[in-house]
């Protein structure tokens, strides 16, 4: 007879009737560790999920393959939206970035075409952060909240169990210091970024509602980025408090070159485009573009590297029995601007709260977690589908027509703000007529714009119908895919 008092983990779980089977197999494999939630990945989405759940007293382990003092570092544009940070402040209690963590305050985002001065600027209050400093602060808060962090631990394998005939994800194995360890968890969360180590190993019967193992090249961006510091003899750069996305006929649309202010003397600069396009000459194009502003000898490269960005709408389903996807693993990146940091923080809070409810109800099934899908669909689902439509517009009309639209000031800045924030642009008949007259010489743009705005309208109403009943998700997906004219 086993004395549960000798196994505090088992005693804890045995008090929770729904998790009986975990207790039984725990006895058979004594080395394993048992928790409420196991989060794989210590980036923003993983840490915020972990903090949200641990705050309610649940046991959370967070596993990351990086060493403790390197978790949070990432090749990134480093920009983060103030509104997303405000939500983090309100809901998780984290202060705005300051000190070493804050590289710059951002006031506007500009979209430039062809020439850096042919641009339209949008209000975009935000921050340029030092990702490592910010990531390390998140980790400290996580530890203070009771999250156990396991660093230098690479997750490799998934484990499953059957309870009452239903299959559940039941934690992972990870390698650390040449040894293999196992965590068992009621919920296992894939927060491992674009590579998505859990998602890519899910069994076929878990791939419900459009979850897929790997993104195809049409859904992924490759990018190259440098952080540079100007030589002392040069004046401050001319991009104060601004982030610029620059489209150019040299870069395959919707790819762009970016130049983000990182304090008066430094810049975060990069380039990226879809993986379907020629990638071999990306750095060459980057250097060529940089030469227009600063010759190579006029600055020092502080950091450089490449990165992959999911460039598609979020998966229509992010949950399965015993787990969920969050952040980049859930493809939660804006398909025009590549903004993924704010969405990662937001979606993690939503997921954390859904997990808390599920833990309270002692249920681990997909149906119980479905609320996470409905909340995401009504916000990032719809917003990013709109962005996908805009992204296709850019590809369809091409760079010279985009330049024409900006030069002719077809959209005012406040209207662009509305479009990018996911709002509805309502134009009077007179407003429409004035713009139509400006575009008449280029009928191709006129047609494409008409199609784009009617697709955005349809998109809004389709996302309002996102089903609360998982059994009809495929019917909804068919309708949405028909509208997007693409199979997701």
* Near ligand FAD by CB under 6 A: residue from 112, 282, 325, 333: 333
Check residue 46 for interaction with ligand FAD (CB under 6 A): yes
Check residue 65 for interaction with ligand FAD (CB under 6 A): yes
* Near ligand FAD by CB under 6 A: residue from 192, 266, 349, 391: 192
Check residue 103 for interaction with ligand FAD (CB under 6 A): no
Check residue 318 for interaction with ligand FAD (CB under 6 A): no
* Near ligand FAD by CB under 6 A: residue from 32, 103, 110, 223: 223
User: With the CA atoms of 335, 338, 344 and 350 taken in that order, what torsion angle do they form, in degrees rounded to the nearest 10?
Assistant: -30
Give the nearer residue to ligand FAD in terms of CB position, either 303 or 479.
303
- Other beta carbons within 10 angstroms of residue 170's beta carbon come to 27
- As a whole number of angstroms, the distance between CA 28 and CA 302 comes to 51
- Residue 118 Cβ vs ligand FAD, minimum distance, rounded to whole Å: 22
Alpha carbon separation from 332 to 197, 290, 382 (Å, rounded): 16, 29, 11
393's torsion region: left (phi>0), alpha (psi -120 to 50) or beta?
Answer: alpha
* Near ligand FAD by CB under 6 A: residue from 74, 159, 382, 480: 74
Check residue 51 for interaction with ligand FAD (CB under 6 A): no
Give the nearer residue to ligand FAD in terms of CB position, either 369 or 462.
369
- Residue 309 Cβ vs ligand FAD, minimum distance, rounded to whole Å: 5
Give the nearer residue to ligand FAD in terms of CB position, either 57 or 203.
203
Check residue 64 for interaction with ligand FAD (CB under 6 A): yes
451's torsion region: left (phi>0), alpha (psi -120 to 50) or beta?
Answer: alpha
* Structure token pair of residue 432: 């429409």
- As a whole number of angstroms, the distance between CA 235 and CA 232 comes to 8
Check residue 225 for interaction with ligand FAD (CB under 6 A): yes
* Near ligand FAD by CB under 6 A: residue from 61, 119, 137, 341: 341
| Residue 479 dihedral angles phi and psi, to the nearest 5° | -65, -45
Check residue 307 for interaction with ligand FAD (CB under 6 A): yes
Check residue 266 for interaction with ligand FAD (CB under 6 A): no
Q: Is the dihedral of CA 86, 89, 90, 92 positive or negative?
A: positive
* Near ligand FAD by CB under 6 A: residue from 62, 71, 109, 456: 71
| Residue 252 dihedral angles phi and psi, to the nearest 5° | -60, 120
Check residue 340 for interaction with ligand FAD (CB under 6 A): yes
* Near ligand FAD by CB under 6 A: residue from 255, 342, 352, 467: 342
* Near ligand FAD by CB under 6 A: residue from 9, 52, 75, 261: 75
Q: Which of residues 140-159 bind ligand FAD (CB under 6 A)?
A: 154-155
Place of tokens 């001065």: 117
Check residue 246 for interaction with ligand FAD (CB under 6 A): no
Check residue 76 for interaction with ligand FAD (CB under 6 A): yes
Give the nearer residue to ligand FAD in terms of CB position, either 63 or 410.
63
Place of tokens 């494999």: 29
Q: Which of residues 344-403 bind ligand FAD (CB under 6 A)?
A: 344
- Residue 169 Cβ vs ligand FAD, minimum distance, rounded to whole Å: 15
* Structure token pair of residue 71: 């978790």
* Near ligand FAD by CB under 6 A: residue from 19, 36, 42, 318: 42
Give the nearer residue to ligand FAD in terms of CB position, either 76 or 402.
76
Query: CA 158 from chain center: how many Å?
Result: 23
* Near ligand FAD by CB under 6 A: residue from 339, 346, 386, 388: 339
- Residue 273 Cβ vs ligand FAD, minimum distance, rounded to whole Å: 12
Query: Would you give the DSSP letter of residue 56?
Result: T
Give the nearer residue to ligand FAD in terms of CB position, either 44 or 253.
44
DSSP calls for 82-132:
HHHHHHHHHHH-PPPP-GGGEEEEEEEEEEEESEEEEEEEEEEEEEEE-HH
160's torsion region: left (phi>0), alpha (psi -120 to 50) or beta?
Answer: beta
Alpha carbon separation from 488 to 215, 312, 369, 387, 437 (Å, rounded): 10, 9, 22, 15, 36
* Near ligand FAD by CB under 6 A: residue from 37, 122, 191, 473: 191
Alpha carbon separation from 351 to 47, 53, 142 (Å, rounded): 12, 9, 16
* Near ligand FAD by CB under 6 A: residue from 90, 140, 195, 441: 195
| Residue 124 dihedral angles phi and psi, to the nearest 5° | -150, 70
Residues in touch with ligand FAD (CB under 6 A): 40-46, 63-66, 71, 74-80, 154-155, 191-193, 195, 197, 223, 225, 270, 307, 309, 327-328, 333, 338-342, 344
């Amino acid at each position: 007879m086993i004395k549960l008092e000798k196994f505090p983990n088992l005693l804890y779980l045995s008090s929770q009737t729904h998790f009986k089977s975990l207790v039984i197999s725990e006895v058979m494999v004594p080395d394993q560790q048992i928790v409420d939630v196991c989060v794989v990945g210590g980036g923003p989405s993983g840490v915020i999920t972990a903090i949200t759940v641990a705050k309610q007293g649940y046991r959370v382990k967070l596993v990351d393959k990086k060493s403790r003092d390197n978790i949070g570092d990432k090749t990134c544009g480093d920009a983060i939206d103030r509104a997303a940070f405000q939500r983090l402040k309100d809901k998780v209690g984290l202060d705005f970035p300051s000190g070493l963590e804050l590289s710059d305050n951002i006031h506007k985002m500009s979209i430039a075409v062809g020439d850096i001065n042919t641009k339209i600027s949008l209000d975009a209050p935000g921050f340029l952060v030092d990702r490592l400093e910010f990531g390390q602060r998140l980790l400290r808060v996580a530890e203070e909240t009771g999250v156990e962090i396991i660093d230098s631990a690479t997750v490799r394998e998934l484990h499953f169990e059957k309870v009452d005939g239903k299959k559940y994800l039941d934690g992972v194995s990870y390698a650390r210091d040449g040894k293999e360890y196992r965590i068992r968890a009621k919920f296992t969360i894939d927060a491992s970024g674009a590579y998505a180590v859990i998602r890519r190993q899910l069994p076929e019967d878990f791939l419900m509602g459009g979850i897929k193992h790997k993104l195809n090249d049409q859904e992924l961006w490759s990018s190259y980025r440098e952080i540079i510091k100007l030589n002392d003899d040069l004046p401050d750069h001319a991009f104060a408090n601004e982030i610029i996305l620059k489209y150019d006929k040299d870069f395959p649309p919707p790819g762009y070159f970016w130049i983000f202010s990182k304090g008066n003397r430094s810049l975060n600069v990069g380039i990226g485009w879809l993986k379907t396009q020629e990638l071999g000459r990306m750095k060459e194009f980057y250097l060529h573009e940089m030469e227009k502003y600063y010759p190579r000898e006029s600055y020092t490269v502080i950091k450089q590297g490449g990165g992959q960005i999911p460039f598609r709408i979020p998966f229509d389903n992010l949950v399965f029995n015993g787990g969920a996807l969050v952040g980049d693993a859930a493809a939660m990146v804006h398909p025009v601007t590549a903004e993924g940091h704010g969405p990662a923080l937001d979606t993690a809070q939503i997921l954390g709260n859904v997990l808390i409810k599920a833990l309270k109800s002692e249920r681990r099934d997909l149906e119980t977690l479905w609320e996470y899908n409905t909340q995401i669909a009504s916000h990032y689902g719809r917003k990013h589908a709109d962005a996908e439509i805009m992204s296709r517009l850019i590809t369809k009309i091409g760079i010279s027509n985009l330049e024409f639209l900006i030069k002719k000031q077809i959209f005012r800045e406040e209207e662009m703000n509305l479009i990018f924030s996911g709002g509805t642009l309502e134009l009077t008949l007179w407003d429409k007529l004035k713009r139509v007259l400006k575009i008449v010489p280029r009928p191709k743009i006129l047609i494409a714009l008409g199609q784009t705005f009617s697709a955005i309208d349809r998109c809004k109403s389709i996302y309002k119908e996102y089903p609360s009943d998982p059994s009809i998700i495929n019917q909804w997906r068919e309708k949405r895919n028909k509208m997007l004219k693409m199979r997701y």
